[in-house]
């Protein structure tokens, strides 16, 4: 019998995770199946228990269950503990549930894939919700000169910066602010707000990008997000979050199967499918 994995979400119909993991599995003929499961909003723990009882070995977790997943784990990775969220569940041989978050490492790997150097860079992160909390630690690990977290609600940005202050090792200037206090000339600007969903744009100064800067949106779609369109008009290189999705999946897959998949052909497959829908 093949090992069972899934992604839990609500809704889950549009998830690309089954396609991604099925492609990874095919690379080495892994005996596994990967499906999408819509868990009930009020009983995520029950959905995971039922899945395990039916032979489930691991899962990805997406909106709105990342905090529920965090709470049910017997063991957490240090980065998941600090992020307060779990997107990867692994069933241990002893029956205990291990939780990790691979979103941040997925972002960092994707930035590297695009040739972006974080070491010594000035990085601006927009938003201070769960999505941003999950990526701060891996970003800091790359040694940027500065990470400014800017958010509509300024206090949330400052609070987040304080929560991660101990991880800067004195190398990175980590701080938070409202959008109105954002200075100019950042090398990398990462949009982690959910503003793109509603077609909104965080109010940023026109000179927020340094020459040669990259604008990264954690979201993606058949057409560029409003943020990426705005950034391109101001001379920044736009990169969407499709690669982050593939890289976080690869990190989860590696934990389950002890084999790192080749992400290049899977990125290409998803990009082509997206462009076919544009």
Q: Which residues bind ligand ATR (CB under 6 A)?
A: 127-132, 151-153, 156, 193-195, 198, 200, 202
Residue 192 contacts residue 215 (beta carbons within 8 Å): no
Determine the Cα–Cα distance for residues 8 and 89; give it in Å rounded to an integer. 10
User: Least CB distance from residue 180 to ligand ATR, whole Å?
Assistant: 12
- Tell me, yes or no, if 66 is annotated catalytic: yes
- The DSSP result for 20-48, as a single string, is HHHHHHHHTT-SEEEEEEE--TT-HHHHH
Decide whether 193 or 214 has the Cβ nearer to ligand ATR: 193
Dist. CA 108–CA 114, nearest whole Å: 10
Spatial separation of the C-alpha atoms in residues 106 and 255, rounded to whole Å: 13
Q: In the bound complex, what is the minimum distance in angstroms from residue 157's beta carbon to ligand ATR?
A: 8
Reported as half-sphere exposure (CB side, CA atoms, 13 A), residue 265 has a value of 10
Rounded distance between C-alpha atoms, residue 216 and residue 107, angstroms: 10
- Count of residues making up the chain: 278
CB of 133 to ligand ATR, least distance (A): 7
CB of 224 within 8 A of CB of 59? no
Which residue number, 95 or 199, has a Cβ lying nearer to ligand ATR?
199
Residue from 66, 93, 112, 156 carrying the catalytic annotation: 66
CB of 63 to ligand ATR, least distance (A): 7
Residue nearest to ligand ATR (CB): 129
Query: Which C-beta is closer to ligand ATR: that of 87 or that of 252?
Result: 87
Alpha carbons 86 and 113: distance in angstroms, whole number:
24
Single out the residue of 113, 56, 121, 103 nearest to residue 219, CA to CA. Answer: 103
Closer residue to ligand ATR, CB minimum distance, 89 or 132: 132
CB nearer to ligand ATR: pick between 143 and 178: 178
Q: At its nearest, how many Å lie between ligand ATR and the CB of residue 26?
A: 31
DSSP 85: -
Give the residue numbers marked as catalytic.
66
């Amino acid at each position: 019998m093949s090992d069972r994995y899934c992604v839990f979400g609500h809704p889950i119909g549009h998830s690309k995770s089954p396609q991604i993991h099925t492609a990874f599995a095919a690379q080495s003929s892994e005996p596994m199946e990967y499906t999408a499961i819509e868990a009930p909003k009020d009983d995520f723990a029950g959905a995971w228990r039922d899945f395990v009882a039916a032979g489930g070995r691991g899962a990805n977790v997406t909106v709105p269950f990342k905090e529920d997943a965090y709470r049910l784990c017997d063991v957490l990775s240090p980065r998941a503990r600090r992020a307060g969220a779990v997107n990867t569940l692994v069933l241990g041989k002893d029956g205990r549930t291990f939780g990790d978050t691979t979103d941040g490492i997925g972002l960092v790997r994707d930035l590297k894939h695009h040739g972006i150097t974080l070491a010594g860079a000035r990085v601006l992160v927009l938003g201070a919700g769960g999505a941003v909390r999950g990526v701060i630690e891996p970003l800091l690990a790359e040694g940027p000169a500065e990470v400014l977290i800017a958010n509509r609600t300024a206090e949330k940005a400052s609070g987040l910066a304080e929560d991660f202050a101990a991880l800067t090792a004195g190398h990175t200037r980590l701080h938070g602010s409202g959008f109105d206090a954002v200075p100019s000339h950042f090398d990398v600007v990462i949009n982690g707000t959910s503003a793109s969903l509603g077609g909104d744009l965080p109010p940023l100064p026109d000179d927020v990008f340094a020459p040669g800067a990259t604008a990264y949106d954690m979201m993606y779609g058949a057409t560029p997000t409003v943020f990426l369109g705005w950034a391109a008009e101001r001379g920044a290189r736009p990169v969407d979050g499709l690669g982050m999705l593939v890289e976080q999946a690869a990190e989860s897959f590696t934990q389950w199967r002890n084999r790192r998949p080749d992400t290049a052909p899977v990125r290409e497959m998803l990009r082509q499918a997206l462009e076919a829908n544009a």
